[in-house]
Structure 1
Amino acid sequence: MSKRVTFKHSHRPSASRVRGAVVAAGLGTSMVLGAGAAFAAGTTGTAGTASLVSSATAADSVAEQAAAQGKAAEHTAAKKADAAKKKAEAKKKAAKKLSWGTPVHRYQLSASYGNDGSRWSHKHSGQDFAVPIGTKVEAAHKGTIVKAGPNGGGDGPAYGNAVVIKHSNGTYSQYAHLSKIDVHIGQSVQKGQKIALSGNTGNSSGPHLHFEIRTTANYGSAVNPVNYLHKAGVKV
């Protein structure tokens, strides 16, 4: 009978198993470290992207604010322009509502009513409007032409060429020293209608329009024309 030989198993791992475990452990470590590194890189990338997004958002905000300010400025300018237009229209409408107006535009007031001196045989009977020769002369109020021609239309050579208009309220307006007369006796005219061109005819020291308001058609019945126009709401 043969003798049984019993082999005892060693609990020591073999060298190959040890090497395998080490390699596996290393790979695991490498994988873990790789994942960590990737996570770190991902974190850094996210922060950078967030920074870029933040900058872009700020730029967009500034652009939006600038656009809003531009629109507000345009709106304000449009409102001012609209207000100015409405004011001009209101002024124009108000002027149209006035039944009286000045006989010329863009003038300078020279000799006034009541002035005295060697230039006149009597006190000045009207208001002089200094304007260049050929300036359009308009009817200060609607009415009918009762005098028109040289020699002051019949009031004397001192007036040169002249026109007198009779108005429905019983007053008369006179326009003298004219270079040209564009109306005739008996003609009806409206306020603002061209009746003549200014000049330097008659007893005149320089180009101007002599303007009177009278209580009759004839010389000697004049009243202060500026005061009269002021009472009618006309600025002179």
Structure 2
Amino acid sequence: MSKRATFQHSRRPSVSRVRGAVVAAGLGTTMVLGAGAAFAAGAAASAPDAAGLVNTAAAESVAKQATVQGKAAQVAKQAVAKKAAEAKKAAKKAARLATSWEAPVSHYTLSASFGNDGSRWAHKHSGQDFAVPIGTRVEAAHSGVVVKAGPNGGGDGPAYGNAIVIKHSNGMYSQYAHLSQINVRIGQAVQTGEKIALSGNTGNSSGPHLHFEIRHTANYGSAVNPVMFLHKEGVTV
């Protein structure tokens, strides 16, 4: 055999070496494919669990929202019920005040009575006097509309000092005199118990008191016994 032939023969890989490489490559590919398949199988196996967790979380979120909405609805319902109760109470109070009468002042002492003779008036006393300190709150004895308010008896004469006359729905009038302060104006609607003035000692008065009258008209000379009138209306003074 020549040297050239020998050289060429030595550069060719042996059949056994080629076969070994192919087998090794095959084993490697099998191992890689096997790992991939195992990973895919694991992922597929864990997918149902993940879906279950998502569904559970969604269900819990919906339940929490339902609870919050339910509480909000309950609070709103309670607020509506409270407002309705307050409105009903206010309506009852308004209805009661519209039909009720009260004494024009509190914590008083009755002094000169209706029909009494005296040096402070030219004729019989036309009202009931309530002895109270100057600045005592004077309230409307009944709901109505102010028809007189001001000095000079509101138009009834200087003897009354500062005075107010209120017209009531039953056609009667109430008068409040010798005031130190007037807090209403002519044409103003007032409710039973509403503050209309402060008591005083103005006009023909020998001491602090409120002169109170009930009249058939707005003017002097039409008065009736105010104590008897209030008694008929359920008010004791």
Scaled by the length of structure 2, the TM-score of the pair is 0.59
- Amino acid paired to 1:173: S
> Percent of pairs identical after alignment?
80
Conserved? CA contact 1:98–1:233, under 8 Å: no
Matched, 1:223 2:230: no
Give the length in aligned residue pairs.
143
* CA shift for structure 1 position 118: 2.0
Structure 2 unaligned regions, length at least 5: 1-95
- Looking at structure 1, the residues matched to 119 and 135 of structure 2 have their Cα atoms a distance apart, in angstroms, of 27
Corresponding residue of 1:105: 106
* CA shift for structure 1 position 120: 1.4
Superposed, which structure 2 residues align to 1:30-179 within 5 Å? 99-179=100-180
- Amino acid paired to 2:140: A
- Looking at structure 1, the residues matched to 236 and 192 of structure 2 have their Cα atoms a distance apart, in angstroms, of 16
* CA shift for structure 1 position 119: 2.1
Conserved? CA contact 1:98–1:232, under 8 Å: no
Superposed, which structure 2 residues align to 1:181-220 within 5 Å? 181-220=182-221
| 1:22-69 Cα distance to aligned partner (Å, 9 max, x none) | xxxxxxxxxxxxxxxxxxxxxxxxxxxxxxxxxxxxxxxxxxxxxxxx
Conserved? CA contact 2:179–2:197, under 8 Å: yes
| 1:199-229 Cα distance to aligned partner (Å, 9 max, x none) | 0000001000000000000000000000000
- Looking at structure 2, the residues matched to 145 and 119 of structure 1 have their Cα atoms a distance apart, in angstroms, of 27
| Structure 1 residues 209 and 234: CA distance shift in structure 2, 3 A | same
- Looking at structure 1, the residues matched to 130 and 119 of structure 2 have their Cα atoms a distance apart, in angstroms, of 20
- Looking at structure 2, the residues matched to 118 and 222 of structure 1 have their Cα atoms a distance apart, in angstroms, of 19
Conserved? CA contact 2:98–2:192, under 8 Å: no
- Looking at structure 2, the residues matched to 151 and 140 of structure 1 have their Cα atoms a distance apart, in angstroms, of 22
- Amino acid paired to 1:137: V
- Looking at structure 1, the residues matched to 212 and 180 of structure 2 have their Cα atoms a distance apart, in angstroms, of 14
- Amino acid paired to 1:215: H
- Looking at structure 2, the residues matched to 167 and 98 of structure 1 have their Cα atoms a distance apart, in angstroms, of 10
Conserved? CA contact 1:98–1:234, under 8 Å: no
* CA shift for structure 1 position 165: 0.1
* CA shift for structure 1 position 98: 6.2
Conserved? CA contact 2:97–2:143, under 8 Å: no
Conserved? CA contact 2:145–2:189, under 8 Å: yes
- Amino acid paired to 1:233: G
Conserved? CA contact 1:132–1:208, under 8 Å: yes
* CA shift for structure 1 position 97: 8.8
Scaled by the length of structure 1, the TM-score of the pair is 0.59
Conserved? CA contact 2:97–2:191, under 8 Å: no
